[in-house]
Chain A
Amino acid sequence: MRPSRIFRWVIRLFLLVFTLALSGVSLLGGFSAVTILDPDSYNVNIPDGPIVVNFDITNKPNMSISVPFNITNVGVYDLDEIILSFQIGMLFANTSKPLNATSNVRIFDKTVNYGAVAHGQVLKDSFSGLGSDGFIFSNIPDLSEVDTTKTPDLRFHANFTFSAKYSLQLYEFTVNLINYSLGVFNFP
């Protein structure tokens, strides 16, 4: 057998192994992603229960938010670099502006990396922020700046991002929800 033929067969063998391995990873990854993200199976539940909040701007250090969540990895590979990010905006009539124009300020911004969830494992945790841990005090207005004659006094909305890597970190997906209403607050 000519050496060139041996060289060809060696390269072809490598190609076959690599291609089969890659195809296997792709297929299993796709199948697992569909299984995990199937909306009927509730494997990714955010929030996984009631969201507990304290948006009392007159007591900034005690402002808090807690979002329970549950991620069940029913796939074949580990879910890596699970990152949750949460921003909260506040809409209010601003007395320091002409005609008490509406202001929209970001009062909360926090990103947490939860690491990895091995296949078959469950991550049940709570995304929380308390006081200066997440809340941006400099953006939160004083009560005197809020026009309390207009109802509702304060309107809260949130942006939420969930991202993770899958299939030996070959796939990365991000789910982003914007302007999710968290409710309103009226001063007594």
Chain B
Amino acid sequence: MGVYITTTMVVPFLTFTWIKEIQVLGVAIVLEQLEYERIIFWISAFGLLISACAFFNYSSPKQSIRKGTFALIQILLNCLYIWSYKFSGATEVKFEIVFEITNVGFIAINVRNMVMLYMGVYFLTILLKGYDFVDFVINRDKIRQKRYKITEGADLS
């Protein structure tokens, strides 16, 4: 869970806070305040949901339907999290160039194509988790028998 909090919330928060205002040769390059707040809001909201889901996923028994369900929800939330970068404006970040309190232009960085590519890779993960879920449901009896056999045969001394 700590890993998820770090990667989905802390790292993006620190990155966007760091790039919020950069000085290049005495010229300030500033991220618009409203845009910054919107990006941080969506990253925090989905980051919290993903971290909570990760907690339930990793605390569930191995190969259980509960684990499969939470793993699938977690992946779907991950997709929404990546997508939130797009609708919060984080994929098209616009910095104002401020020279001696006057706005003299802007720098815009667009990483929309990169996010779309990541979404494509995530589609494979969704397939895998969906397959896991179906497998856990269909082979429930086999998995249970295997689990109990291990438990019965375990050395409890």
Contact = CB atoms under 8 A, between A and B. Distances in A.
B137 interface: no
A134 B117 CA distance: 38
Contacts of A8: 128, 131-132
A1 interface: no
Nearest to B25: A39
Given A4-B131, A11-B127, A39-B24, A22 B117 contact: yes
Contacts of A7: 131
A179 B103 CA distance: 10
Nearest to B115: A170
A54 interface: no
Interface in B110-138: 110-114, 117-118, 121, 124-125, 127-128, 131-132, 135
Contacts of A99: none
A110 B104 CA distance: 20
B9 interface: no
B118 to A, nearest CB: 6
A26 B108 contact: no
B39 interface: no
Contacts of A173: 107-110
Interface of B: 24-25, 97, 103-114, 117-118, 121, 124-125, 127-128, 131-132, 135
Interface of A: 4, 7-8, 11-12, 14-15, 18-19, 22, 26, 39, 160, 167, 169-180
22 contacts: A4-B131, A8-B131, A11-B124, A11-B128, A11-B131, A12-B128, A14-B124, A22-B117, A160-B105, A170-B113, A170-B114, A172-B110, A172-B113, A173-B107, A173-B110, A174-B107, A174-B108, A175-B106, A176-B106, A176-B107, A177-B97, A180-B104
